[in-house]
A and B are shown apart, each in its own frame.
Chain A
């Protein structure tokens, strides 16, 4: 029986709330993560563990900080002007914000897929091959071909594009573009894939395709997904965290959060009363 957030005894030695104690160490854990944009705090004291090979969904109304949170996990906020981060984010126990940590290397371990499909204005092949190329992940073009084909296959795109790998990535449909972005992300063999509302720009059919893909991908990867669709969170995720006005209000097994939310705000949100 998973331990819900409210049932953690106060004498627990750590302030990290363990979502599922039975699964060993978390892949990513945040400790008192606080983010400021300029002087305004966007996230307060977030403590959240993300388990390996699980899908963790982040839900909450617009502006609640879930995108900010997910971007902290691969330090994409570094490039945002005026963004300041306090607290700790650990990946396999190492603080990724510690001095001397390499954000560039981190992002090869923690890949990201964005809200709007953003393939490079290059060919489908080059889109996928770019990451492995800059990281020197192959020795010859045969190996490169293999990486590209494998990544496209894993992203479920290979059958649709195998005859036109040299066509521009932007010529694909929206859903295909998003899968191309997923292929591009997994080509560099990350351990974690962050997805920031990956289906919000897609139609229901393309969305279903991506969801199917996410379910397949969680075998190999730890996935964190931000979504506005409660149904999507319920369908896809093992764990759910509900954010509200920059605070982490509730976290736990998806089923529990949706069927028996402890916090009133969560209940209002998941039952569709607000948000």
Chain B
């Protein structure tokens, strides 16, 4: 008898030890998985940050411009200013290389400044103009000065000029406001994300305005009011399917319906938002239904029992309690829409847009599409701008998620 008691307790002890071991193993595996994830995240952010940070600074060259009275040959004035600094440059070839040091945008900036201040005419002004992207790359060390000449886009002659300009204090780097205030450009030093950011924000606004009320109301109807039956089940299955449909398909749908049937303008944030709303809707509906389902039935009963109509019970009591979950779903859906480029390509938001969109009907592009466009460009300087645009995109995502957390917190405290 004691024998069997002993063996029984030994068996139980060994089983207990096994259970503890399994638990420890699971904890260690979980910890390891999280660590690996964090390392990848750090590397990702690090790489993007390192390669994109340079784009927030831009090299400028100081030129002393003699503003000719009554002339609108601003290009000539800029060129003259360059020739004044380097009077020894005579040959056409060298002159062309010299002019290439300053961005072609300098002409427009001078034009704009003189138009704004007409009394400058006839005077000599000293001003900073953006350097060309190649000079920018040299100053930032992205093009090695001592590398073989055929591997860099800057000639030895140009390098000597840059050095002289540096020594004269005519070169400086400062914060690149243009990156945030201007639209796309063929010249990297002039290209910015303003149009893309505004386009993204407008599209998201349209997307939210359409998909949030529609999604929440759909969820409420399906969960609280729709008669259960084969039809409801059919609709449910289809909504789940829609959530898994590749986003480019929604883009095609937008192209076929919004553009070709309704004749809405191409490249417009309105259409972009509508397409993104189609994509976001299933996510919001599913999250909304789960959240509504999670509200204890006692709340519904309490409201109904004092004579609230079913609609009042849902909108006064059930929905507010489900709101944290609904908001989480909405933010997840919108964050996905924020990073989506494929459906926007289909409806023409991939355009080269220089001017800021003034309404949701004017042409615009979106940040992910801008990233896609720049990543495709051959110029070296677009590389860091691509990374910088990704940084801004990530920042927007983080801000949105932060907003979601705060909103959720607020509702949780209130209820």
Binding site for B on A (CB under 8 A): 74, 76, 79, 81, 104-105, 107-108, 111-114, 116, 118-122, 130-131, 134-135, 181, 184-185, 187-188
Contacts and interface: CB of A to CB of B under 8 A. Distances in A.
A108 B300 CA distance: 15
Given A81-B228, A116-B298, A121-B321, A104 B308 contact: yes
A180 to B, nearest CB: 11
Interface in B288-307: 296, 298-307
B336 interface: no
Contacts of A114: 298, 301-302, 305
A79 B314 CA distance: 13
A-B residue pairs, 6 tightest by C-beta = A108-B307, A112-B305, A118-B298, A131-B306, A121-B415, A107-B307
Nearest to B414: A121
Contacts of B37: none
Contacts of B312: 134
Contacts of A181: 302
Contacts of A122: 415
B306 A79 contact: no
Contacts of B310: 79
Contact of A79 (B228, B296, B298, B300): B300
A81 to B, nearest CB: 6
A185 B304 CA distance: 11
B321 A74 contact: no
Contacts of A135: 307
Interface residues of B, number: 20
Contacts of A134: 307-308, 312, 316
B321 A130 contact: no
Interface in B27-83: none
Contacts of A76: 301, 304-305
A131 B305 CA distance: 10
Contacts of A74: 305
B321 A184 contact: no
A118 B306 contact: no
B172 interface: no
B408 interface: no
B359 interface: no
B309 interface: yes
B145 interface: no
Contacts, number: 63
B193 to A, nearest CB: 43
A185 to B, nearest CB: 6
B305 to A, nearest CB: 4
Contacts of B304: 76, 79, 107
B306 to A, nearest CB: 4
A122 B228 CA distance: 31
A107 B300 CA distance: 13
B317 interface: yes
Nearest to B321: A121
A81 B223 CA distance: 12
A118 B307 contact: no
Given A81-B228, A134-B312, A119 B307 contact: no
A121 B318 CA distance: 10
Nearest to B306: A131
Contacts of B308: 104, 130-131, 134
Given A76-B305, A134-B312, 13 more contacts: A104-B308, A107-B305, A107-B307, A111-B306, A112-B301, A122-B415, A130-B316, A131-B308, A134-B307, A134-B316, A181-B302, A185-B305, A185-B306
B415 to A, nearest CB: 4
Nearest to B311: A104
B326 to A, nearest CB: 16
A1 to B, nearest CB: 37
Nearest to A116: B298
A108 B306 contact: yes
A107 B306 contact: yes
A188 B306 contact: yes
A184 B305 CA distance: 10
Given A114-B298, A114-B302, A120 B317 contact: yes
A135 B309 CA distance: 10
A130 B305 CA distance: 12
B299 A131 contact: no
Interface string B308-332: 1110100011000100000000000
A118 B299 contact: yes
A118 B321 contact: no
Contacts of A113: 305
A117 to B, nearest CB: 9
A79 B304 CA distance: 9
A79 B298 CA distance: 12
A109 to B, nearest CB: 8
Interface string B203-245: 0000000000000000000000000100000000000000000
B293 to A, nearest CB: 13
A188 B308 CA distance: 11
A235 B149 CA distance: 104
Given A121-B321, A130-B316, A184 B306 contact: yes
Nearest to A122: B415
A130 B316 CA distance: 10
A105 B321 CA distance: 25
Contact of B307 (A79, A81, A188): A188
30 contacts: A74-B305, A76-B301, A76-B304, A79-B300, A79-B304, A105-B307, A107-B305, A111-B305, A111-B306, A112-B301, A112-B305, A116-B298, A118-B296, A118-B298, A120-B299, A120-B302, A120-B303, A121-B299, A121-B321, A122-B415, A130-B306, A130-B308, A130-B316, A131-B307, A131-B308, A134-B307, A181-B302, A184-B302, A185-B306, A187-B306
* Residue from B302, B306, B312, B316 whose CB has the most chain A CB atoms within 10 Å: B306
A134 B304 CA distance: 11
Contacts of A112: 301, 305
Interface in B239-295: none
A122 B308 CA distance: 16
A81 B302 CA distance: 18
